[in-house]
Structure 1
Amino acid sequence: MAFRIGTTRDLLTASGKPAFNEAAFEELQRNPDIEWEWIPEDVPEITPEIAARYDGLHVNLPRVTAASVAREDCRVKIIGRNGVGF
Structure 2
Amino acid sequence: MALHFAVADLREQAADWLDEHRHRVISELLAEFDACVMIVAYRRLALKSPASQAEWRHPRGCPAPQTGCGACKRGSISSA
For the criterion TM > 0.5, the same-fold answer is no
Give the TM interval when normalised to the shorter protein. Answer: under 0.3
- Which of the pair is proportionally richer in helix? 2
- Which of the pair is proportionally richer in strand? 1
What is the TM-score of this pair, normalised by structure 1? 0.17
What is the TM-score of this pair, normalised by structure 2? 0.18
With CA pairs under 8 Å and 6+ residues apart, which has the higher RCO, 1 or 2? Answer: 1
